[in-house]
Amino acid sequence: MAKISSDKLWELAAAEVQSLENGTADGGGGEEVGERTVFLMGSKTGGKTSILLRCLDRDEPAKPTLALEYTFGRRATGHNTPKDIAHLWELGGGTSLSDLVQIPITPASIRSLSIILVVDLSSPNALWGTMEKLLQAVQAQVEKVASQVRQAEKSRAGPKLQMSVPSTARDLPKDYPDRELISPFPLPLLIIGSKYDLFQALSTDKRKVVCKTLRFLAHYHAASLIFTSIKSESQMSKTKIYFSHLAFNVDTGKTMSCDSSKPLIIPAGSDSLSQIGSPPTTDVDITSLHARNPKDLWKKVYEQIFPPESISEQKEMKDPAKDPQYSEPQIDAMRAQKDQELEQYKKNAAKSWKGLELDT
């Protein structure tokens, strides 16, 4: 098989992007898009890679995601018909690498982009902070992309992108529950509560708090919510259905479970504020909490029960150059030599500065 040069690969990639922008990839009409993009992010070591591999039916060990990784999935739509393609991005490092959201969220991808947020149910103290920071990063990037497209339209440089970017205020059906009281996320959003098997070790009261809070957050953002564990085939099969809905537009069905003693399964639009109820009661008087909006009130109550962790994830990040799965003996040896040369240079530079200070 002949090798393709890197320059040729870039030309092919550029041609593919151009075809998407010109509307030739989906026939140029109003037909269903055959390519979708799904962006996974969430808690550090929350099981994102394991969940993704299971949803793709890939029997391979999960490796730590150090930054941002790309893969894809395919699904046949019928006999002798082209396969639907899902472009899949996964962000590693929890919240420490949230700046990388700018790579998968672009004017070319945003029309068919969905978000999957995986939160570790076994670490409730870090749950709210992780969710809040990552969703804010995505929302800011969506607004930035929308602004770029508006500027391009003004300069008449990118008229074909006009239909590629949704409004930053997502439209909902007029009969959507609590439509006037919630703040829909600008992109389709699925929240997955992972490690449900470990979550069951928490006390009943604490599990109820987490369940109720996640129900509120999912409904507030017009998102779907599902709890799962990679150790349960039944739970993973249901999770795969929701994943396939975003990746390949598969119907999720009408299964729903709001019982806090069981894994939650709540499709977007099937819950309501009246069913969820008020924030969980605590020893602190809710009326004494100064909240700007309902979401802020839920946050303050939740953090009274699960104080946020103050450990910096950035400090915990491992150096990819020292990760054994990426070892390259020759390159590593050269890197070690250059590190030694750098240290020696620093020492010599320090001596020179000390000498200047003495002369002064």
User: Within a domain: residue 25?
Assistant: no
User: Within a domain: residue 185?
Assistant: yes
User: Within a domain: residue 259?
Assistant: yes
User: Within a domain: residue 356?
Assistant: no
CATH number of the domain bearing residue 261: 3.40.50.300
User: Within a domain: residue 347?
Assistant: no
Sign of the alpha-carbon dihedral angle for 283, 287, 289, 291: positive
Among candidates 127, 70, 65, which has minimal Cα distance to 92? 65
Angle between helices 204-220 and 294-305 (to 10 degrees): 160
Q: Are 247 and 240 in contact (CB under 8 A)?
A: no
User: Within a domain: residue 163?
Assistant: yes
User: Within a domain: residue 359?
Assistant: no
pLDDT (tens digit, 0 to 9) for every residue of the chain, 360 residues total?
A: 444 555 555 565 555 555 554 444 443 333 344 789 999 999 999 999 999 999 999 988 888 887 899 999 988 776 666 678 999 999 998 898 999 999 999 988 888 999 999 999 999 999 999 999 999 999 999 999 988 878 877 776 555 555 445 555 678 889 999 999 999 999 999 999 999 999 999 999 999 999 999 999 999 999 999 999 999 999 999 999 999 999 999 998 889 999 999 999 999 999 999 999 988 876 666 666 777 788 999 999 999 899 997 644 444 445 566 666 667 788 878 888 888 888 887 777 766 655 655 555
Domain containing 99: what range? 33-313
User: Within a domain: residue 335?
Assistant: no
Q: Is the pTM of this model over 0.85?
A: no
Domain count, the chain: 1
